[in-house]
């Protein structure tokens, strides 16, 4: 048995839902028919939780989300046909709760519009086009400040007593910004929601193996992952040149 749904829009052509003994497969086809979005070959909306749940193998969670969002003629017809044939269709929120608790539901909040972005993070937010991830400039400011107060000159005094970010060699500052940007990008999901100042502060301390950092905040597995990655960047030192400019080594 097959049910055909015809759409008027050229971007959303007709769709057939086959009624088989595999209830999850039928539900997945019906959700796609009602919601031909993004991750199913009909667009590129990486902010759609319905498409993402479906892509990750949670069709009942996707159906639960879809039914809470609006009308679902294909899903309703498919469920009715399966129930008529004696099949049990568990369209409750249990799988939705399972999906929410799984790593598959991970997403990143867009700082531009607040949408949750589920995949293809490098492409930015599919809703507003904003770049994803924490504020790298704010992260860099804290990173530089931490570098200055945790580094000392030949006299043993910390550099922040006499110097500021304006005293950094331009190439050194560019290197520090590049490190922050690349670290933030490679840990985009783990840093989601973290204060960028905390991220910059902890990145400097952790990569240089000081007595505090990501590992010190009680973040559990998250702190362990960030610590491991920060250590992989290796240590870096600041020093004051003969021209009274601060360089990295």
Token pair in block for residue 147: 């570098």
pLDDT tens for 155-212 read 889 999 999 999 999 999 999 999 999 999 889 888 988 999 999 999 999 999 998 9
Half-sphere exposure of 15 (CA within 13 A, CB side): 25
- Given pLDDT bands bounded at 50, 70 and 90, which one contains residue 219? very high
Mean pLDDT computed over 31-42? 64
Least confident of 41-55, 56-70, 116-130, 154-168: 41-55
The 10s digit of each residue's pLDDT in 73-97 is: 888 888 888 777 777 776 667 888 8
- 119-140 pLDDT, tens per residue? 777 778 888 888 878 899 999 9
3-state SS of the chain: helix, strand, coil percent to 5? Answer: 50, 10, 40
Confidence class for position 101, pLDDT limits 50, 70, 90: confident
**Three-state SS at 157:** coil
Task: Check if the beta carbon of residue 31 is closer than 8 Å to that of residue 24.
Answer: no
Burial status of residue 180 (CB atoms within 10 A of its CB: 0-12, 13-18, 19 or more): buried
Q: What is the mean pLDDT of residues 103-111?
A: 70
- CA–CA gap between residue 133 and residue 164 (Å, rounded): 26
- For the chain, what is the largest distance between any 2 Cα atoms, rounded to a whole number of angstroms? 86
Give the global pTM. 0.64
Positive or negative: CA dihedral 209, 214, 220, 226 = negative
For residue 109, the cross-strand partners are 116
Mean pLDDT, rounded, of the chain: 83
Q: What is the pLDDT of residue 120?
A: 73
| Straight-line distance from the first to the last Cα atom of the chain, in angstroms, rounded to the nearest whole number | 70
pLDDT of res. 209 = 95
Phi and psi of 124, rounded to 5°? 85, -175
**If you average pLDDT over residues 221-248, what whole number do you get?**
95
Q: How confident is the model at residue 106 (pLDDT cuts 50, 70, 90)?
A: low
Give the model's pLDDT for residue 6.
Answer: 44
Grade residue 154 by pLDDT with cuts at 50, 70 and 90: confident
pLDDT attached to residue 172: 97
DSSP per-residue string spanning 13-51: --EEEE--S-HHHHHHHHHHHH---GGGSS---TT-HHH
Specify the pLDDT at position 39: 44
| β 116-117/238-240 pair status | unpaired
d(CA 79, CA 90): 10
3-state secondary structure at position 223: helix
Considering the chain, what percentage of its residues have pLDDT values greater than 70?
86
């Amino acid at each position: 048995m097959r049910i055909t749904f015809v759409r008027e829009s050229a971007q959303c052509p007709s769709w057939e839902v086959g009624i088989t003994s595999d209830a999850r497969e039928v539900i997945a086809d019906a959700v796609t028919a009602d919601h031909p979005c993004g991750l199913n070959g009909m667009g590129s909306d990486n902010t759609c939780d319905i498409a993402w749940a479906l892509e990750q193998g949670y069709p009942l969670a996707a159906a639960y989300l879809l039914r809470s969002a609006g009308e679902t003629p294909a899903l309703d017809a498919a469920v009715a046909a399966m129930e008529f044939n004696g099949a049990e269709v568990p369209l409750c929120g249990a799988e939705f709760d399972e999906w929410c608790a799984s790593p598959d539901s991970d997403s990143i909040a867009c700082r531009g519009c607040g949408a949750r972005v589920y995949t293809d993070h490098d492409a930015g937010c599919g809703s507003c086009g904003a770049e994803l991830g924490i504020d790298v400039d704010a992260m860099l400011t804290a990173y530089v400040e931490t570098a200055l107060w945790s580094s000392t000159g030949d006299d043993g005094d910390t550099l922040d007593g006499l110097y500021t970010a304006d005293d950094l060699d331009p190439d050194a500052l560019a290197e520090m910004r590049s490190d922050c940007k690349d670290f933030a990008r490679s840990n985009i999901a783990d840093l989601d929601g973290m204060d960028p100042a905390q991220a910059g502060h902890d990145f400097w301390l952790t990569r240089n193996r000081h007595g505090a950092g990501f590992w010190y905040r009680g973040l559990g597995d998250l702190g362990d992952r960030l610590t491991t990655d920060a250590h992989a960047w290796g240590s870096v030192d600041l020093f004051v040149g003969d021209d009274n400019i601060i360089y990295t080594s």
